[in-house]
């Protein structure tokens, strides 16, 4: 059986790649994808913990199902807002979304 640590390291790497994507990417869609990567790291963590905890604790699996569903809803709203912004501004590059500045 693969040790729990491997799963945790994998998810930590996935999380860090997501953070890098959020910080380095300029395209809004790519940022959303990066956030989705981070969400997947969370889900792997939850499921891994749930499988390795004493007596197959089901709470983690349940939690990850909720997280997936809510994440999908969030991405839906995010895409709608980005689409509307594109209609008004003709760009989804975050460097050009700068009306509100001091």
Partner 1 sequence: MEFTLIIPEIIVFLTATAILILDLILQQEKQKKLLGFAAEAGVILAIAQLVRMFALGQQASSWGLLTIDTFGHVIKIILLVSTGLVILLSVDYFKTIISRKGEYYCLILFSVVGMMFMVSADNFISFFLSLQLTSIPLYILSGIDKNDARSNEAAYKYLMLGMLASVVMLYGMTFIYGFTAAANFEGIARQLTSLDLHENPILLIAMIFIFAGFAFKVAAVPFHFWVPDTYEGAPTPVTSFLATAPKVAGFAALIRLLTIAFSPLIAQWRTLFIILSILSMSVGNIVALSQTNIKRMLGFSSVAHVGYILMAFAIADQMAVSAAIFYLMIYGIVNIGTFAVIASVMRGEDHQIQGLAGLSKRSPLMSLSVAVFMISMIGIPPTPGFWGKFNLFASVVNGGMTWLAVIGIINSIISVYYYINVLRYVYGDQEIGNQQDKQARRPADPAADGLNNIPCLMRLAVVISLALTIIIATYPQPFIELAKAAAVALKTGLWL
* From 13, 42, 72, 93, residue interacting with partner 1 (rule: CB under 8 A): 42
DSSP result, 26-89: -BHHHHHHHHHHHHHHHHHHHHHHHHHSTT--SHHHHHHHHHHHHHHHHHHHHHHHHHHHHHHH
Contact of 22 with 36, CB cutoff 8 Å? no
Q: Does 10 bind partner 1 (CB under 8 A)?
A: no
* From 10, 17, 63, 68, residue interacting with partner 1 (rule: CB under 8 A): 63
Strand partners, 27: 93
**Applying CB under 8 A, which residues contact partner 1?**
15, 18, 22, 28, 31-32, 35, 38-39, 41-42, 45-46, 48-49, 53-54, 57, 59-60, 62-63, 66-67, 70, 73-74, 77-78, 81-82, 84-85, 88-89, 94, 97, 99-102
């Amino acid at each position: 059986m693969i040790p729990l640590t491997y799963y945790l390291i994998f998810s930590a790497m996935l999380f860090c790649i997501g953070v890098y994507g959020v910080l380095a990417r300029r395209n809004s869609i790519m940022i959303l994808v990066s956030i989705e990567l981070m969400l997947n790291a969370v889900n792997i963590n939850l499921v891994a913990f749930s499988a390795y905890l004493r007596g197959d604790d089901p709470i983690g699996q349940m939690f990850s199902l909720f997280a997936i569903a809510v994440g999908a809803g969030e991405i839906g709203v995010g895409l709608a807002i980005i689409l509307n912004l594109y209609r008004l501004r003709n760009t989804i590059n975050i460097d050009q979304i700068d009306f509100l500045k001091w």
